[in-house]
Amino acid sequence: MKSGLIEDFLFLGDPNVRIVLPGVLVLCAMAALVGNFTYLRKRSLIGDAISHAVLPGICLAYLVNGEKNLFYLLIGALASGLLSVFLIDFLSKNRFARNDTAIALMLSSFFGLGLVLLTYIQHQGGASQSGLDGFLFGKAASLSELDVYVFSISFLVISGIVYLFRRGFGLMSFDEDFAQSIGFPVRWLRFFLSVLTVWAVATGIQAVGVVLMAALLIAPSLAARLWSNSLKQMIFISVLVGLLSGYSGSLISYLKPGMPTGPWVVISAGVFALISLMVAPGKGLLSQWKLRKSNETKMLTENLLKLFYQISEKSENQTAVTEDDLLNRRSLNRSDLSRGLKLLIKNNYVLDIQGAWRLSAEGEIEAKRIVRLHRLWELYLQEYLHLDADHVHDDAEAMEHVITPDIERQLEEILGRPERDPHQAIIPRVYDTK
Amino acid sequence: MTLNDFWILATAIVVALVCAIPGTFLVLRRMSMVGDAISHAVLPGIVIAYLISGSRSSVAMLPGAAAAGMFVAVAIEWLQKKLRVRDDAAIGLVYTFLFAVGVILVSAFTAQTDLDQDCVLYGEIAFVPFDLITLSENVLFPRQLLVGTVLLILILLVLIRGFRGLYLSTFDPGYAMSIGVSVAFWHYVLMGMVSFATVVSFESVGAILVVALLSGPAASAALFARSLKSMILMSCAFGSIAAVTGYFAAVWLNVSIAGSIAMFTGIIYFISLLLKRIIHSF
Q: Of A101, A110, A112, which has the smallest distance from its Cβ to B27's Cβ?
A: A101
Window from A230-244, A394-408, B44-58 with minimum mean pLDDT: B44-58
Beta-carbon pairs below 8 A across chains A and B: 194
pLDDT reading at A208 higher than 50: yes
Buried-exposed string B231-254: b where 16+ CB fall within 10 A, e elsewhere = bbebbbbbbbbbbbbbbbbbbeee
Q: Would you state the pLDDT for residue A425? A: 83
- Give the amino acid at A98: R
- What does the pLDDT look like over A45-56, one tens digit per residue? 888 899 889 989
Comparing CA positions, the residue from B160, B157, B241, B151 lying closest to residue B200 is: B151
Q: Nearest CA of chain A to the CA of B237: how many Å?
A: 17
Q: What are the helix (H) ranges across A182-284?
A: 186-208, 210-227, 231-255, 261-279
Q: Do B92 and A48 touch (CB under 8 A)?
A: yes
Residue A35's pLDDT is 92
State percent of chain A over pLDDT 90: 21
Write the CB contacts of A246 (distance below 8 Å, at least 6 apart in sequence).
A24, A25, A27, A28, A29, A265, A268
- Stretch 264-303 of chain A: residues touching chain B, C-beta under 8 Å: 264, 266-267, 270, 273, 277, 283, 285
Average pLDDT, chain B: 85
Least confident of A117-126, A167-176, A195-204: A117-126
Q: What is the pLDDT of residues B86-142, one digit of tens each?
A: 888 899 999 899 988 988 888 887 665 565 555 555 566 766 776 777 766 667 778
Tell me the pLDDT tens digit for each residue of B26-51. 999 988 888 888 888 888 888 888 88
Judged by average pLDDT, the poorest of A120-134, A276-290, B64-78, B198-212 is: A120-134
**How many of the other CB atoms lie within 10 Å of CB of A88?**
27
Nearest to B263 among A109, A258, A263 (CB): A109
Contacts of A128 (CB under 8 A, 6+ apart): A66, A67, A68
Tell whether the model's pLDDT for residue A106 goes beyond 90.
yes
* Confidence grade of residue A341 (pLDDT, cut at 50, 70, 90): confident
Q: Give the pLDDT confidence score for residue A19 in this predicted structure.
A: 81
Share of chain A above pLDDT 70, in %: 91
Which of B117, B255, B267 faces A120 most closely, judged by CB atoms?
B255
pLDDT of residue A434: 39
- As a whole number of angstroms, the distance between CA B243 and CA A334 comes to 67
Which of the two residues, A307 and A314, has the higher pLDDT score?
Answer: A307
Cα angle A62, A68, A70 (rounded to 5 degrees) comes to 105
**Interchain proximity A116–B260, CB inside 8 Å:** yes
A6 vs A12, A242, A415, CA distance in Å?
9, 20, 73
More reliable by pLDDT, A383 or B139: A383
Q: What is the pLDDT of residue A258?
A: 74
How confident is the model over A152-184, as pLDDT tens digits? Answer: 999 999 999 999 988 888 888 888 888 888 888
Among A119-133, A400-414, B25-39, B108-122, which stretch is predicted with the lowest mean pLDDT? B108-122
Mutation choice for B interface testing from A94, A106, A116 by most B CBs within 10 A: A116
Q: Which residues of A touch B91 (CB under 8 A)?
A: 44-45
> Which of B84, B255, B265 minimises the CB distance to A109?
B265
Q: Which of residues 197-226 of A touch B (CB under 8 A)?
A: 210-212, 214-215, 217-219, 222
Contact yes or no for B239/A135 (Cβ under 8 A): no
Q: How confident is the model at residue A234 (pLDDT cuts 50, 70, 90)?
A: very high
Query: What's the pLDDT score for residue A283?
Result: 81
Contact B122 A115 (CB under 8 A): yes
CB-closest option in A109, A218, A283 to B262: A109
Is residue A135 over pLDDT 70?
no
Identify the pLDDT of residue A433. Answer: 46
Which is nearest to A242 in space by CA: A194, A204, A279, A191?
A204
Q: For residue A4, what pLDDT is reported? A: 67
- Position with higher pLDDT, A12 vs B70: B70
* pLDDT computed for residue A1 by the predictor: 46
Q: Pick the range with the lowest mean pLDDT from A253-257, B117-121, B142-146.
A: B117-121
Which residue of B82, B85, B219 is in closest CB contact with A105? Answer: B219
Q: Which residues of A touch B118 (CB under 8 A)?
A: 137
pLDDT at B275 over 50: yes
Angle of CA points B197, B244, B123, to nearest 5°: 45
Q: What is the dihedral of CA B198, B200, B202, B205, to 10 degrees?
A: -100
CA-nearest residue of chain B to A97?
A: B219
Identify the closest residue of chain A to B94 by CA–CA distance: A270
A186 CB neighbour count, 10 Å cutoff:
17
Q: What is the DSSP letter of A6?
A: H
Which pLDDT score is estimated for B14?
92
Q: How high is the pLDDT of residue A44?
A: 85
Give the chain B residue nearest A262 (alpha carbons): B100
Q: What would the pLDDT profile of B237-264 be if each residue is shown by its tens digit?
A: 999 999 999 999 999 998 888 889 999 9
DSSP symbols for A323-378 = HHHHHHHS---HHHHHHHHHHHHHTTSEEEETTEEEE-HHHHHHHHHHHHHHHHHH
Q: What ipTM describes this predicted complex?
A: 0.89
pLDDT of A187 reads 86
| Per-residue pLDDT at A325 exceeds 90 | no
Of residues B267 and B40, which shows the higher confidence score? B267
Please report the pLDDT score of residue A126 as a whole number: 61
Return d(Cα A121, Cα A76) in angstroms, integer: 15
